[in-house]
Amino acid sequence: MNDEIKEILTKYNTIAIVGISNKPDRDSYIVAEYLLNHGYKIIPVNPNIDSIFGLKAYPDLLSIPDEIDIVDIFRRPEFVDEVVEQAIQKKAKVVWMQLGVVNERAAKRAQDAGLKVVMNKCIKVEHMYRFGNF
């Protein structure tokens, strides 16, 4: 899996962050800021905010006009099925469930549709580990 994660983080650049918060002390904010600072294109997804980091926020994945490579999910496991369905419809390449987010049914659904799945791992920690950006 380690090589696959490095490949994902090297190959793909556009990351939709579902459940992003505009509160600087929240993990989703910290992770998004880190990814932005490391050259990734971030697409905020949260129906309760208009923008973050000067970027327009979208209410859901289907509202995003751009292509999405990685869907990074900061939602409770019971909400992941719907996000995965939208990721499949948007033809995303990867579904990434953050640390503490485990939904085996949604993971299988994504894999069956041809998406790569990373589950219960923090994309920031994995990036720091592989690229030495502590």
Residue 126 lies inside a defined structural domain of this protein: no
pLDDT class for 3, splitting at 50, 70, 90?
confident
Partners of 21 in beta bridges: none
The pLDDT value recorded for residue 134 is 55
pLDDT class for 1, splitting at 50, 70, 90?
very low
> Model's pTM, two decimal places?
0.95
How far apart CA 30 and CA 94 sit, in angstroms, is: 21
Burial of residue 121 (CB within 10 Å: 0-12, 13-18, 19+) is middle
Residue 20 lies inside a defined structural domain of this protein: yes
Q: Are 22 and 29 in contact (CB under 8 A)?
A: yes
The pLDDT value recorded for residue 11 is 97
Count of domains forming the chain: 1
Is pLDDT at 108 greater than 80 in this prediction?
Answer: yes
Residue 76 lies inside a defined structural domain of this protein: yes
DSSP H or E run through 109? helix 104-112
CATH number of the domain at 47, please.
Answer: 3.40.50.720
Length of the chain: 134
Q: For 90-107, how does the pLDDT look when each residue is reduced to its tens digit (9 = 90+)?
A: 999 999 999 999 999 999
What's the domain range around 71? 2-114
How far apart CA 25 and CA 84 sit, in angstroms, is: 26
Six-digit token string for 57: 């926020």
Residue 132 lies inside a defined structural domain of this protein: no
Q: For 47-73, how does the pLDDT look when each residue is reduced to its tens digit (9 = 90+)?
A: 999 999 999 999 999 999 999 999 999
Residue 77 lies inside a defined structural domain of this protein: yes
Residue 131 lies inside a defined structural domain of this protein: no
Residue 64 lies inside a defined structural domain of this protein: yes
Q: For 8-42, how does the pLDDT look when each residue is reduced to its tens digit (9 = 90+)?
A: 999 999 999 999 999 999 999 999 999 999 999 99
Residue 120 lies inside a defined structural domain of this protein: no
Give phi and psi for 89, each to the nearest 5: -60, -35
Q: What percent of the chain has pLDDT over 90?
A: 94
DSSP H or E run through 36? helix 27-37
